[in-house]
């Protein structure tokens, strides 16, 4: 049996219940993994509220690190005793131990701690697909990155610095702006006290940026479009402030023949070989020291509701982990 955080109805953090669930044995293509640390992400909030619906009752969580305790038939890249980490479906990472598909579980280098592994897989591989797979970015390009002091944002700031990309980061306080600057943002904007659209134009001599990376959604979408240069690309990859409302497609032409995409990590890692390759890119950046993974908040598994409240209230910076 394993202690597991579940919900039986969609709603607020108060919906969480901690229950004992049987773990079971891995079947073909599966592993059993004992978790040492669990990742906390906004996708967990979307699933808890029902914005991203799943069948109930639902064990939440998409990211964790731990030790493989058993492998099923056909699993060749992992064995019992291996350190491993993942950001993958199905949900169910908020537990002490689980059985799950093995294809998207990745061997974790010894140089990376379990807490770092749990805080970096979803956020770090998101940065990999944003910078390396969605748009062909190169040194000298300009990127506007919203929520630059969050878990994804601080990795993105470091990634941009390592690649020679000019990153303008936004955040909701002077302290968070300073944190983003410390991690590699070339320019920072406090969107609560400054007009980010006007500042981006000022910073870029009215040219605009090549790419906007926006996980905030509703509150920043319109301004983000106006920050793009002609032929620029809007990457909308989250909805922290709520989903983007419908808009007239023709506006993209009027604003300069803009492009827009709404990618997800889980499309990018759907193939085993792609997932493992992306993880290796991430591990290489972390073990080289070019990207450091911050774990700024830790909660026990039975404090999961409190952790969700902190995340939704924008009271977290860097990575947050749950400890089973």
Residue spans per domain, the chain:
2-121+272-323, 123-265
Query: What pLDDT score was predicted for residue 315?
Result: 87
Let me know how many helices (H) and strands (E) the chain has, helices first: 10, 16
Q: What is the DSSP letter of 15?
A: G
Query: What pLDDT score was predicted for residue 118?
Result: 97
| Whole-number Å distance between alpha carbons of 229 and 251 | 14
Query: What pLDDT score was predicted for residue 127?
Result: 98
Structure token pair of residue 104: 């998207």
Instruction: Name the residue among 162, 161, 19 with its Cα closest to residue 95.
Output: 19
Query: What pLDDT score was predicted for residue 317?
Result: 80
Query: What pLDDT score was predicted for residue 319?
Result: 86
Q: What CATH number has the domain spanning 123-265? A: 3.40.50.720
Query: What pLDDT score was predicted for residue 240?
Result: 80
Q: Does domain 2-121+272-323 have CATH number 3.90.180.10?
A: yes
Give, for 34, the enclosing helix (H) or strand (E). Answer: strand 30-39
| Whole-number Å distance between alpha carbons of 318 and 179 | 9
Full 3-state SS string of 83-145: EEEEECCCCCCCECEEEEECCCEEECCCCCCHHHHHHHHHHHHHHHHHHHHHCCCCCCCEEEE
Query: pLDDT digit of tens for each residue in the chain (324 aa)?
Result: 999 999 999 999 999 999 999 999 999 999 999 999 999 998 999 999 998 899 999 999 999 999 999 999 999 999 999 999 999 989 999 999 999 999 999 999 999 999 999 999 999 999 999 999 999 899 999 999 999 998 899 999 999 999 999 999 999 999 999 999 999 999 999 999 999 999 999 999 999 999 999 999 899 999 999 999 999 999 999 888 888 999 999 999 999 999 999 999 999 999 999 999 999 999 999 999 999 999 999 999 999 999 999 999 988 887 899 999
């Amino acid at each position: 049996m394993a202690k597991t955080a579940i919900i039986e109805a969609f709603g607020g953090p108060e919906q969480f219940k901690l229950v004992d669930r049987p773990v079971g044995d891995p079947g073909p293509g599966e592993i059993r993994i004992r978790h040492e640390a669990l990742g906390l992400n906004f996708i967990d909030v979307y699933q808890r509220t029902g914005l991203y619906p799943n069948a109930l009752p639902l064990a939440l969580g998409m990211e964790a690190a731990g030790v493989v305790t058993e492998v099923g038939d056909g699993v060749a890249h992992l064995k019992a005793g291996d350190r491993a980490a993942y950001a993958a479906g199905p949900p169910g990472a908020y537990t002490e131990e689980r059985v799950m598909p093995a294809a998207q579980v990745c061997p974790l280098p010894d140089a990376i701690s379990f807490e770092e592994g749990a805080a970096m897989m979803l956020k770090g591989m998101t940065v990999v697909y944003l910078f390396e797979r969605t748009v062909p970015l190169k040194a000298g390009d300009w990127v506007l990155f919203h929520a630059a002091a969050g878990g994804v944002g601080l990795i993105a700031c470091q990634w941009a610095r390592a690649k020679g990309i000019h990153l303008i980061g936004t955040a909701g306080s002077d302290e968070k702006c300073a944190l983003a600057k410390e991690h590699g943002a070339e320019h920072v904007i406090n969107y609560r006290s400054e007009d980010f659209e006007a500042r981006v134009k000022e910073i870029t001599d009215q040219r605009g940026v090549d790419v906007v990376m926006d996980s905030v959604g509703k509150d920043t979408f319109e301004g983000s479009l106006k920050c793009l240069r002609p032929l620029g690309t809007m990457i909308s990859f989250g909805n922290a402030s709520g989903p983007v409302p419908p808009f007239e497609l023709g506006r993209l032409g009027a604003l300069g023949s803009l492009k827009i995409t709404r990618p997800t990590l889980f499309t990018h890692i759907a193939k085993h070989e792609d997932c493992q390759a992306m993880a290796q890119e991430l591990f290489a950046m972390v073990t080289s020291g070019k990207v450091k993974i911050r774990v700024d908040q830790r909660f026990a598994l039975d404090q999961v509701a409190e952790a969700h409240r902190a995340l939704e209230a924008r009271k977290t910076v860097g990575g947050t982990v749950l400890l089973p």
